[in-house]
Amino acid sequence: MLFTVTVDDANQVQDIDREDNSLTFPVYFPLLGDVNLDGVINMADLAVLAEYWLGAYGGELPWWGKPDLDDSGHVGFDDIAIISENWLWQAGWYSH
């Protein structure tokens, strides 16, 4: 997905189109199931779910990801189902 932003003060931004003061850049949204936000849904994401299995996180979610994928308030079988639906998906920018 590409977004175009118009900048008020073009002198403050590098890599800007000087004709119309626009800056185009890609924005990546992780797929549901990429719990650790590394660009691929794999065993690493499943390991994070295991850490937080059945509410073991006590309601405190890590800042970098969201193991409660279905917003149920706990990590359970429905979250594993979401990961399995998207298993081995890779973001366009991912390289191993």
Q: Domain segments of the chain: what residues?
A: 1-29, 31-96
How many other CB atoms sit within 10 Å of the CB of residue 68? 20
Mean pLDDT of the chain: 75
Determine the pLDDT at residue 30.
73
pTM here? 0.63
Please give the CATH topology (third level) of the domain spanning 31-96.
Type 1 dockerin domain (1.10.1330)
Q: In sequence order, what are the residues at sequence separation of 6 or more whose Cβ sits closer than 8 angstroms to the Cβ of residue 43?
A: none
Question: Which run of H or of E encompasses 5?
Answer: strand 2-6
Confidence of residue 91 (pLDDT cuts 50, 70, 90): confident
Determine the pLDDT at residue 79.
92
**pLDDT surpasses 80 at 16:** no
Confidence of residue 6 (pLDDT cuts 50, 70, 90): low
Across residues 18-45, what is the average pLDDT?
78
Tokens matching residue 39: 């660009």
